[in-house]
């Protein structure tokens, strides 16, 4: 098959591994820089242009859209969708996953376990907002933060009020969440492909750090998931409409709670910790899900 990886940098571990894994399975794999794609959206036959030429037809794309380019990146993915190309994650699902509040609202509707979370716009609600999620300690988060930046732990109600006021003063969108202390500065990354968790790792924050992000000095290790954790991750991916994603879970005393769902999960940490060919499994998913469609297409052409 002809498959394109949409990525800003072909030298990133995830991009390199995907290209290598696809080629090893006999596919023709191109890496395309998302921001260099452009399109004439009014044309009757949708197409994507790249470096002065129209791109050939791809059977499938693997979008790796960074958080800083969500708006343009999802437009490019949408254009490929309009051309009938299969995308491992649809543009709408990627946009959804980038907004933590929207994601949590969608998941709560479908009974996915979540930390108690509040959201408000007007400063006169602050005290009640904190009380409503159980009082301090609480975690205050920027709605569109990533890599642990903009995630703050407020140990007291007073500190929480000041932090919320400060963020609101900057007109930043935030949410306030109960602090899951028993998680012990660790979380569980479940890598979902299709409707299965194909790999999972536990990430432990550095000494004295409640954030487990590998970018903040956290370390990863292998973990065996409970049935409930596995089901929670699969359900979260399904609700978000993502075929390939990283579901981050906190182990709370009330069972697994989902913190966020990442639509471009990195491969380096998970492949190193689990020694699994996760990139290969993504291609296997593409092979299984484009087959039917391609048969239909040939039939349609008679």
Rounded-to-integer distance, Cα 206 and Cα 216, Å: 8
145 near ligand ADP, rule: CB under 6 A: yes
Selected range binding ligand ADP among 119-127, 162-170, 211-219, 277-285, rule: CB under 6 A: 211-219
Binding mask 110-129 for ligand ADP (x = CB under 6 A): -----x--------------
Rounded-to-integer distance, Cα 74 and Cα 58, Å: 17
213 near ligand ADP, rule: CB under 6 A: yes
Shortest gap between Cβ of 145 and ligand ADP (angstroms)?
4
Per-residue burial over 142-156, b = 16 or more CB atoms within 10 Å of its CB, e = otherwise: bbebbebeebbbbee
141 near ligand ADP, rule: CB under 6 A: yes
Q: Are 10 and 19 in contact (CB under 8 A)?
A: yes
216 is written with which tokens?
């903040």
How far is CA 228 from each of CA 1, 85, 112, 152, 197, rounded to the nearest angstrom? 36, 35, 11, 28, 12
Rounded-to-integer distance, Cα 232 and Cα 126, Å: 31
Binding mask 218-247 for ligand ADP (x = CB under 6 A): ------------------------------
Selected range binding ligand ADP among 12-20, 33-41, 57-65, 142-150, rule: CB under 6 A: 142-150
Among 198, 199, 200, 250, indicate the residue that binds ligand ADP (CB under 6 A).
Answer: 250
* Cβ partners under 8 Å of residue 77, min gap 6: 6, 61, 63, 65, 87, 89, 90, 91, 94
Contacts with ligand ADP in 162-191 (CB under 6 A)? 177, 179-180, 183, 187
Among 211, 223, 247, 286, indicate the residue that binds ligand ADP (CB under 6 A).
Answer: 211
Binding site for ligand ADP (CB under 6 A): 115, 139, 141, 145-149, 151, 177, 179-180, 183, 187, 205, 210-213, 248, 250, 259-260
């Amino acid at each position: 098959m002809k498959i394109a990886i949409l990525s800003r940098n072909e030298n990133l571990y995830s991009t390199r591994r995907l290209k290598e894994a696809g080629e090893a399975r006999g596919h023709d794999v191109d890496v395309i820089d998302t921001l260099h794609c452009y399109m004439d959206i009014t044309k009757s036959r949708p197409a994507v242009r790249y470096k002065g030429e129209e791109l050939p037809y791809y059977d499938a794309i693997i979008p790796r859209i960074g958080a800083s380019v969500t708006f343009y990146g999802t437009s490019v993915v949408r254009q490929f969708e309009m051309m009938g190309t299969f995308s491992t994650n649809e543009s709408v699902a990627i946009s959804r996953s980038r907004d933590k509040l929207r994601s949590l609202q969608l998941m709560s509707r479908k009974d996915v376990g979540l930390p108690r979370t509040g959201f408000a716009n007007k400063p006169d609600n602050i005290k009640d907002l904190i009380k409503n999620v159980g009082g301090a300690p609480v975690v205050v988060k920027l709605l569109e933060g990533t890599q642990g930046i903009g995630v703050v732990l407020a140990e007291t109600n007073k500190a929480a009020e000041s932090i919320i006021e400060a963020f609101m003063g900057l007109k930043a969108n935030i949410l306030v969440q109960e602090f899951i202390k028993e998680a012990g500065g660790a979380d569980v990354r479940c890598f979902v492909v299709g409707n299965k968790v194909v790999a999972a790792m536990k990430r432990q924050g550095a000494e004295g750090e409640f954030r487990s992000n590998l970018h903040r000095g956290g370390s990863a290790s292998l973990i065996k998931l409970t049935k409930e954790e596995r089901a929670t991750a699969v359900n979260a991916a399904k609700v978000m409409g993502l075929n390939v994603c990283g579901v981050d879970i906190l182990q709370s005393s009330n069972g697994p709670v989902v913190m966020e769902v990442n639509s471009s999960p990195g491969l380096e940490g998970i492949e190193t910790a689990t020694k699994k060919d996760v990139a290969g499994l993504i291609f296997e998913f593409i092979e299984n899900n484009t087959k039917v469609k391609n048969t239909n297409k040939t039939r349609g052409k008679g």
